[in-house]
Amino acid sequence: MVSGHDQPRRLVLILGDQLTPSNAALRAADPARDVVLMAEVADGADYIPHHKKKIAFVFSAMRHFASELEALGWTVDYVRLDDPDNTRSIVGETARAAARYGCAATVVTTPGEWRLLKALQDSELASRGALEVLEDDRFICSKAEFEDWRARRKSPRMEHFYRAMRRKTGLLMAGDKPVGGRWNFDSENRKPPKRGLQFTGPLRFTPDATTVEVLGLVVERFPARFGDLEPFWFGVTRGAAEAAFAHFLASALPRFGDYQDAMLRDERFLYHAVISLYLNVGLLDPLDLCRRAETAYRAGRFPLNAAEGFIRQIVGWREYVRGIYWGEMPGYVGRNFLAHDRPLPDFFWSGDTEMACLRACIDQTREEAYAHHIQRLMVTGNFAMLAGIDPKAVHEWYLAVYADAYEWVELPNTLGMSQFADGGLLASKPYAASGNYINKMSDYCKSCRFDVKQKTGPDACPFNYLYWDFLDRHHDKLGGNPRLGQPYLTWRRMDEVRRRATRHDAAVFLAALDAPAKTKSPAAA
Ligand code: FAD
Ligand code: DLZ
Ligand code: SF4
């Protein structure tokens, strides 16, 4: 029998979002023989103007993971961004390292991004059969399983997929039935914020020497990028990510269910986990988190709606959007059902707008590289859709500004769920709302120069007239949507004077958006 040592040495490429010791490429390799390659590349950091905190997080977590692998006995070749021989691309660094170590073959776990998978598949290594791409099995549902599930449905919906995943994993199941007799407690997860809600916030970490070095690199190499680099408080190791999750279980999950849609200006993280950045790079395992949440629920530590709400986000939404992404790419990124073509307003980068809700969410995004789901969906996303912004520009903004943004999860959420650019594949109706929703779910309107109660006129909340104008503009495409029957009926019954004023105010507002920009976007910097 040939021992592992007698086989030719292989290169194991580990990407910045594959920081899991048990990932498929590492399982397929031999630490006594093979070499791990990790590379900080300018192309990865430049093709989208990532937030400074996101770049620092990814590079520092990569450097810590390299040390973790070395401690496990792996030989790691780590190419830093400032290495003078760095070729700027993953493909270039892979070819260079394969030649350096005389590796006959390279093995990699499928990247989370179609663009990079394609670049690897088109590479010279692949053309001579020297590249093996393995399935990323850190997910609960494989691509093939998702496609099989989808092929059996006329119109796939997350809720049905979620039930299949509950059955598959046994999470919150009592035999073949959902615990508590219902699959979904979403209707109990929409409480408006009440006065005095407080949350200590996510666990914060002090940068160690490695992180401090990376922060210096980011200051030097990416000075003009969007986003505040400091205070930098993200964890960058598996241990820190674990501690952050344990903190969430103890301090926030009990109220997560009730208030997960609430937005408060001074409580940016209100009962949210702030773990997506750790999950998406592989520092946490999705199924493990769900099992721990279930165990804590069964121990009576929090109510069912909290546990179910959390588990649904992970085994439901997170897995579902991934299935949609891989099933729909590469065409998905170009979908534009509503034919929106307005450029992204510059205030998305500067926060310089009189609309208090947008200002709060954008300022928070700049400072934290974080906003929670409803801020992303119902404030910035809702506004972009109502204002007719080009969905590709909206997608590129979200991919840049959030520390947890990787295309497989960001694109379906942005283009599909928030912009309805896929025509209803992901969401059965557009997530469009007037100021009334934002006022009910937040405290932003109290400090706004606009009046949320006024429907038209110079002081009226722009969401109010933009909402009706959006429905009116898209009547041909949305008028037949059964879930929009009621709003269209209300619009038709509105008196003609108000309808005319609504269209007029929307036209004036949108024309002002199109006026020449004052601020240069970091994308152009
Ligand atoms: P919590 O609200 O505490 O939820 C717990 C976990 O559930 C999250 O960490 C996340 O892993 C998962 N989750 C919740 N909702 C979703 C969802 N819709 N899709 C996938 N996973 C979900 N999430 C990302 O991870 N990366 C993105 O780039 C991203 N872009 C988004 C863009 C838009 C326009 C919208 C509307 C949502 C986006 N989301 C994205 C989903 C969601 O907003 C974030 O997962 C969540 O805000 C992360 O914060 P948290 O860890 O505090 O999550
Ligand atoms: C986000 C990111 C950045 C900014 N830089 C790198 C990098 O230099 N090297 C790397 O391997 N990964 C990086 N990442 C994470 C990538 O987005 C991710 O590895 C690929 O796009 C595959 O999903
Ligand atoms: Fe936003 Fe309108 Fe409320 Fe102002 S009044 S914060 S623009 S919803």
Residue extents of the structural domains in the chain: 7-134, 143-202+252-328, 347-513
Cα-Cα end-to-end distance for the chain: 59
Contacts 24+ apart (CB under 8 A), 155-162: 156/425, 157/428, 158/316, 158/317, 158/320, 158/426, 159/183, 159/184, 159/316, 161/316, 161/319, 161/320, 161/323, 162/312, 162/315, 162/316, 162/317, 162/320
- Classify strands 105-109 and 10-13 as parallel, antiparallel or unpaired: parallel
CATH 3.30.460.80 fits 7-134, yes or no: no
Domain 143-202+252-328 class in CATH? mainly alpha
Rounded to the nearest angstrom, the gap between the alpha carbon of residue 220 and the centroid of all alpha carbons in its chain is 27
Ligand approaching nearest to the C-alpha of 448: 3
Rounded to the nearest angstrom, the gap between the alpha carbon of residue 61 and the centroid of all alpha carbons in its chain is 18
Ligand approaching nearest to the C-alpha of 355: 3
Please report, as a single letter, which amino acid is at residue 304.
L
Nearest ligand 3 atom to alpha carbon 463: 2
- Select from 263, 380, 444 the residue to mutate for testing ligand 3; criterion: most ligand atoms less than 8 Å from CB: 444
Ligand 1: list residues with CB < 6 Å.
260, 272-276, 279-280, 310, 313-314, 317-318, 321, 372-373, 376-377, 381, 398, 402, 404-405, 409-410, 413-414, 417-418
**By alpha-carbon position, which residue is closest to atom 1 of ligand 3?**
357
pLDDT value of residue 197:
61
pLDDT value of residue 267:
75
Q: Is 448 in the pocket of ligand 3 (CB under 6 A)?
A: yes
Structure tokens at 460: 């009226």
Statement: the pTM of the whole predicted model exceeds 0.85: yes
Domain 347-513 falls in which CATH fold? DNA Cyclobutane Dipyrimidine Photolyase, subunit A; domain 3 (1.10.579)
Helix (H, G, I), strand (E, B) or coil at 264: strand
What's the CA gap between 388 and 514, in Å, rounded?
11
> 255 near 271, Cβ under 8 Å?
yes
Rounded to the nearest angstrom, the gap between the alpha carbon of residue 269 and the centroid of all alpha carbons in its chain is 16
**By alpha-carbon position, which residue is closest to atom 23 of ligand 2?**
112
**Dist. CA 230 → ligand 3 center (Å):** 29
Q: Is 438 in the pocket of ligand 3 (CB under 6 A)?
A: yes
- Select from 445, 453, 459, 505 the residue to mutate for testing ligand 3; criterion: most ligand atoms less than 8 Å from CB: 445
What's the CA gap between 86 and 380, in Å, rounded?
37
What's the CA gap between 271 and 253, in Å, rounded?
7
Structure tokens at 174: 């009592």
- Judge whether 7-134 and 143-202+252-328 match in fold: no
Q: Using only C-alpha atoms, what is the Rg of the chain?
A: 24
**Dist. CA 429 → ligand 3 center (Å):** 23
- Kindly give the confidence (pLDDT) of every residue in the chain, 525 residues in length, as a single tens digit, with 9 standing for 90 and above: 334 456 789 999 999 999 999 999 999 999 999 999 999 999 876 789 999 999 999 999 999 999 999 999 999 999 999 999 999 999 999 999 999 999 999 999 999 999 999 999 999 999 999 999 999 999 999 999 999 999 999 889 999 999 999 999 999 999 999 999 999 987 666 667 666 666 678 899 999 999 999 999 999 999 999 999 999 999 999 999 999 999 988 886 666 666 677 788 877 787 778 999 999 999 999 999 999 999 999 999 888 988 998 999 999 999 999 999 999 999 999 999 999 999 999 999 999 999 999 999 999 999 999 999 999 999 999 999 999 999 999 999 999 999 999 999 999 999 999 999 999 999 999 999 999 999 999 999 999 999 999 999 999 999 999 999 999 999 999 999 999 999 999 999 999 999 999 999 999 999 999 986 544 444 434
Helix (H, G, I), strand (E, B) or coil at 398: helix
- Positive or negative, the Cα torsion across 242, 248, 251, 253? negative
Ligand approaching nearest to the C-alpha of 464: 3
